[in-house]
Amino acid sequence: MIGMGESRKQVGVLGLGRMGAALAGALLEAGHDVVVWNRSPLKAGPLLDRGARLAATPEEAASAEVVISCLSTYDAQRPVLAAASPKVLVNLTSGTPAQAREVASWASAEGIEYVDGVIMAVPQGIGTPQSRILYGGSRAAFDAQREVLSVLGEPVFLGEDAGLPALHDLALLGIMWSTMAGYLHALALVGTEGVTPSTFTPMALSWLSAVSGFLPGIGEQVASGDYATDVSALDINAAGLGLLVETSRERGIGTSVPSAVKELFDRAVAAGHGSHAIASVIEEIR
């Protein structure tokens, strides 16, 4: 609920999909005055029961002090924003840095204060300490809306470039997707010998925690360009990946996940990085 010294705000929410509905719900929970719009108005029902008002058009929702947009894609969002023309826009639709910068330019031309954001949480996490949202764009607008944005999750401001949140979003999601793909490959592999996910997962979790401990060192090597190692050279890791691909093939499962990494590591070895640390693979990626 709104605490001492905090103010009740009029907030417009465009888009009531899984995420938009969670955002609107958290704002209502915090005591804000929420006006919602969705292409399919029936989805607003549960929010109206909790005190939200339904706008008939995006423009009507955009008369609020601040408007949060959360639609499926930028293509879906473009005509909605053009119709809405809000005063202050917080755009939480996922997209590319270029798409975010394009909306920022449009907003600037229209005299709209613009903050771009990416949600590093699932709808069920919105409004909990597990939710973090990365922002970029107008610092003044972010500062002015910080209180209301804090209701949704921990707000982190990355800078005045509106493309920065999408850049970070895609980079972080890339870590998530490759980790999940590696985990699924591991489950398929151990599954060929009858090892169940419930047996294997605790081992995977403690291993992931050890692996995450390597990241700061890898980051430092990437920053310095000094790939010397007395721990583990790239060539033995590339050879290990060969064993994983071979064993996967023998067990009759797909090899797409380890083969993609092996191909990359092999190229880095061929380029002369065999005795360097794994961090040197970035030279091939670049």
Site residues, ligand NAP (CB under 6 A): 15-20, 38-40, 43, 70-72, 76, 80, 93-94, 119, 122-123
Residue nearest to ligand NAP (CB): 17
Q: How far is the CB of 38 from ligand NAP (least distance, A)?
A: 5
Q: How far is the CB of 94 from ligand NAP (least distance, A)?
A: 3
What is the Cα–Cα distance from 222 to 280, expressed in whole angstroms?
Answer: 7
Residue number with CB closer to ligand NAP (16 or 238): 16
List of residues 6+ apart from 211 with CB closer than 8 A: none
Residue number with CB closer to ligand NAP (134 or 233): 134
Return the closest-CA partner of residue 228 out of 272, 271, 281, 275. 275
CA distance from start to end of the chain: 48
Exposure string for 5-43, b = 16+ CB within 10 A, e = fewer: eeeebebbbbbbbebbbbbbbbbbebbbbbbbbbeeeeb
Residue number with CB closer to ligand NAP (37 or 265): 37
What is the Cα–Cα distance from 159 to 79, expressed in whole angstroms?
Answer: 27
Q: How far is the CB of 13 from ligand NAP (least distance, A)?
A: 10
Residue number with CB closer to ligand NAP (8 or 39): 39
Residue number with CB closer to ligand NAP (91 or 237): 91
Residue the block writes with tokens 């870590």 = 175
Q: How far is the CB of 98 from ligand NAP (least distance, A)?
A: 15
Q: How far is the CB of 19 from ligand NAP (least distance, A)?
A: 3
